[in-house]
Amino acid sequence: MNDLDIIIPLYNDPLGINRLLDSVEDQTFDRERVKIYIIDDGSDIEYDFSPYQNLKIIYKKQKNGKQGKARNYGTEISSAEYIWFCDSDDVINKGSIQLILDDICYTNSDILVYNAECSDREVFYEIENSENKEEYLNALSRNRAIVAPWNKLYKRRFLFENHISFPERLSYEDLYHSIITVSKSNYITFSDKCIYKYIVNAGSTTNTFDERIFDVIEVAESILLTKDLNINKEVKKNIFLTHVFKYTLLRIYKSNNILLLFKFFNVKNFWKLLRMWLGNFS
């Protein structure tokens, strides 16, 4: 069994995936211990991975199902002890793969959390080695920690035993996955090492308004409805106030489109979610 599987969703991004693979190819690590699963989510272009013969690449295609479905498929066909979800348009920092391989030799953690940097600013959120699960959940719920999966390693068995997967055909799936995995984990290792660089794309949905951001309402509802979820009322409150209200309303404000505000309050399940949230504090 390989120690690490890297799962990369891909859609019409030849330049990005080549840059990411270059960042892997340029590193020194035990290549027998790492597989790279590239899950093509319906691209209409052809890719050439022949320059990367020294990497163990498994390329699979699926019909358009969005990033969550691609990650789930990669998880299903993976075989390693640990899984690392990366995005095709980012970069793995030099030396990170061997560092990770060394780390997972000496841990039995369900999740390993590292630092990551951003191409237009410094480290997103400083992980302290002394960080604990409760503090981390609170930081995730307040958007003060990285909710994306690419700064985390997951034990494959942990994901399967707890039936954890990404929501499919929804945006904002990272929030759900991070809250659920952290809350259900028994042991998390935190490292202050910076393993990954997020590349800012001016045309991405994080920098332009996209109505898919309203998916956060459905994602927040799914979190509140998940059974046996070990999160406190403060975390539930923060998910609603920070992610559903503050972040979404800020994006609407920046869009300069007042009609979107009315649409926000009329999105399916919004008022149901509000009642659920209020019920947690009654």
Boundary of a domain, candidates 169, 184, 203: 203
CATH code for the domain of 24: 3.90.550.10
Q: Which residue in 159, 146, 163, 152 sits closest to 206, CA to CA?
A: 146
Q: Is 194 in the same domain as 225?
A: no
State the DSSP string of 114-153: EEEEETTBS-SS---TT--HHHHHHHHHTT-S--SGGGEE
Both tokens assigned to 130: 């002394």
Q: Is 109 in the same domain as 17?
A: yes
Residue 240 has pLDDT above 90, yes or no: no
Residue 108: domain span: 4-203
Q: Is 231 in the same domain as 252?
A: yes
**Nearest-angstrom CA–CA distance, 272 and 45:** 42
Taking residue 152's Cβ as centre, other Cβ atoms within 10 Å add up to 23
More confident residue, 241 or 165: 165
Residue 203: its pLDDT value, please?
A: 47
Span of 56-60, 141-145, 155-159, 270-274 with lowest mean pLDDT: 270-274
Q: Is 156 in the same domain as 251?
A: no
Boundary of a domain, candidates 169, 203, 237: 203
State the DSSP string of 58-84: EEEEE-S-HHHHHHHHHHHH--SSEEE
Residue 206 has pLDDT above 50, yes or no: no
Give pTM, 2 decimals: 0.88
Taking CA 130 as the corner, what is the angle to CA 132 and CA 2, rounded to the nearest 5 degrees? 80
DSSP letter at 168? S
Q: Is 157 in the same domain as 254?
A: no
**Nearest-angstrom CA–CA distance, 77 and 95:** 26
Backbone CA torsion sign across 134, 136, 140, 142: positive
Residue 209 has pLDDT above 60, yes or no: no
